[in-house]
Structure 1
């Protein structure tokens, strides 16, 4: 419940839906200089400010002096609890991992305020990485697209399910695959010295060839013949990898188009089994790779996306805090999920 204050702080742009039976929270200032606290069910609890929670860990932002954060999973910039869901102390993060489709852009249109927010985070010292389940393009394509829209980006900052499949092939010693996918996936695999047995020189896939692994991703040239060829490989014992299982992709004007998950469903139905491995979200495999390459601990990396069941689930598996943005597929936040209407919620002025 809220209490009147002599100088009420501006209302932050993110919201938290009230929960039945939630604890009543009262704020008060401790007598100790520079310390903030809340009182929850009659128990005073000391809150740490930005930059004071763990010595030796870089803190790109600093909390506004005198700010008091409420207990409860209120907003996206929360100090994570043991489960990575948030324990109430609002702060900036050393690393932000952003989904692309529905979070930063829809089709060829940048989502309002997204580029400004990401630039601001980078200017203040945070590292940024981009992770998309879209396997249809190369790292270079996504980097150019983001740069054109005003996002700070280099190819090495982009992680996709195409790069994830290439890394998986290297890890497992697979050098030949049958691919249901776009030319961008084919090119990424070829750059990793993986032969795509059913692709021509331009990266277009055809219903021919055999391999020890079948990779299924978004494929706008999908045909019955291609489905049959993938099935024949699987019936002969090939491994079955899916780039992701997203049912749809968000486009301009709120339109949706079928995603890779619809093609994975078709292959799984005729094969009588699901994929042996899903490379992209909600699998934590690529997020773990990002954390290892950046040297950031899970609790110091905020995952931001528009799908709780994929974008955010992979973060929670690793203990990362998460934030749902309501600019893509999801229009209403589940209970207990930190969220914001758009990315401005990551730059709440009351926290600075």
Structure 2
């Protein structure tokens, strides 16, 4: 899809894969929606899905942070997090028990800056200078800087694009002089999502095929995970665009509606 606009042929292509006995899951770097919201959005587009089929940069980030603090014998309910982001990441962190600091909590002074353990940054379509100010000072006072993803832009309906989370992440990198910590961003091209899918679905990586529209995230993540990749030219990447070195997919489709004719020839199983 592009924004709220379903790519022509996508529901039919996905239905065809399912009829052929393929498990279809959805991996997105967009951290604004909850997994439930993504299921509802897909169903509105005529694509049946369940929450177990959806993996977001927000859910991956929240899950990693919960495991990280528990490894340190710390309960998430004792950890304060400041978020630049929307419901997807906020609700994901709350579901794991983290305490979220709100903007107004910092109005009384700077005492709270040093109590924030993590600053988590994703796409925030209501970004303000005040939010950047708070995040910067939390990082300066010792909070770890976590990015859900660093997409520079995202495709919208009508062929337009919008600024992505990467624009916000880079603003903080610039003013803090501090890159994101712990190997984040956890979204693509980090292969974490594909390893998590392999674990949850008990599917070997060699039996997976990744389909996406962005070489520097979707295709690179697939290559890093060692799985087959297909680039579709119905999103960010268009016909005639140059694919960066080291990001060449195993196959290229003009649109996802060509998928069913190609799939039997590129699957490794």
Return the match for 1:340 from 226, 245, 253.
Answer: 253
User: Retained in 2: the 8 A contact 1:161–1:279?
Assistant: yes
Runs (4 or more) in structure 1 with deviation over 3 Å come to 205-210, 349-352
Q: Which blocks of at least 5 consecutive residues in structure 2 are unaligned?
A: 70-75
Aligned residue in 2 for 1:168: 64
Give, in whole Å, the separation in 2 of the partners of 1:333 and 1:207.
48
Equivalent residue runs for 1:9-158 within 5 Å = 105-158=1-54
User: Retained in 2: the 8 A contact 1:134–1:161?
Assistant: yes
Larger radius of gyration: 1
Give, in whole Å, the separation in 2 of the partners of 1:301 and 1:176.
37
How big is each residue's C-alpha offset from its partner over 1:129-184, in whole Å with a ceiling of 9 and x where there is no partner? Answer: 10100000100100000011111201111010111111012111153211001133
How big is each residue's C-alpha offset from its partner over 1:41-86, in whole Å with a ceiling of 9 and x where there is no partner? Answer: xxxxxxxxxxxxxxxxxxxxxxxxxxxxxxxxxxxxxxxxxxxxxx
| TM-score (structure 1 length as normaliser) | 0.66
User: Larger RCO: Structure 1 or Structure 2 (Cα < 8 Å, ≥ 6 residues apart)?
Assistant: 1
| Residue 351 (structure 1) shift | 5.5
Q: Which blocks of at least 5 consecutive residues in structure 1 are unaligned?
A: 1-104
Return the match for 1:293 from 200, 204, 211.
Answer: 200
Aligned residue in 1 for 2:72: none
Aligned residue in 2 for 1:323: 230
Are positions 1:191 and 2:99 aligned together?
A: no
How big is each residue's C-alpha offset from its partner over 1:297-345, in whole Å with a ceiling of 9 and x where there is no partner? Answer: 1111000000111011111111101000000111136384321001133
User: Retained in 2: the 8 A contact 1:207–1:226?
Assistant: no
| Count of matched residue positions in the alignment of Structure 1 and Structure 2 | 244
Q: Aligned Cα RMSD in Å?
A: 2.1
User: Retained in 2: the 8 A contact 1:326–1:340?
Assistant: yes
Give, in whole Å, the separation in 1 of the partners of 2:216 and 2:235.
13
Change over 3 Å in CA distance of 1:254–1:127 after alignment to 2 = same
Aligned residue in 2 for 1:258: 163
User: Retained in 2: the 8 A contact 1:243–1:278?
Assistant: yes
Aligned residue in 2 for 1:71: none
- Flag the structure with higher helix content: 2
User: Retained in 2: the 8 A contact 1:324–1:333?
Assistant: no
| Residue 192 (structure 1) shift | 1.5
Give, in whole Å, the separation in 2 of the partners of 1:146 and 1:207.
40
Change over 3 Å in CA distance of 1:240–1:146 after alignment to 2 = same
Return the match for 2:123 from 213, 218, 241.
Answer: 218
Return the match for 2:216 from 304, 309, 313.
Answer: 309
Change over 3 Å in CA distance of 1:165–1:350 after alignment to 2 = closer
